[in-house]
Amino acid sequence: MTDALAVFVPFVLFMLIPLWIPFIALTVGVVVERVVPSRPSPAAQAVENARVRTAAARASAPATLAEVRTLPTHVDADVAA
């Protein structure tokens, strides 16, 4: 029996190599993510820049409808009547 196990166990472990590879890759990935600080995402930075630009545009925009009505228009008074 011990002779059979001495042959069978290494053979089974060798056959399971295709299953080991994803687990090893997963383990390495988890360790790398824990150890190495993450870089900021370019997409997240672009969204943050857009938020800043939008806030600045809203701050400089007219706040009330009365202010909007005082803005100059491109329509002539004669054409509008």
64 DSSP assignment = S
CA–CA separation, 54 vs 32, rounded Å? 36
Q: How many domains does the chain have?
A: 1
Question: DSSP string of 24-45?
Answer: HHHHHHHHHHHHSPPPPPHHHH
pLDDT of residue 67: 76
pTM value is: 0.41
Q: What is the pLDDT of residues 18-64, one digit of tens each?
A: 999 999 999 999 999 899 888 888 999 999 999 999 988 888 776 67
First and final C-alpha spacing in the chain = 105
Reported confidence tier of residue 80, pLDDT bands at 50, 70, 90: low
Provide the pLDDT confidence category of residue 81 given band limits of 50, 70 and 90: low
Which pLDDT belongs to residue 75?
66
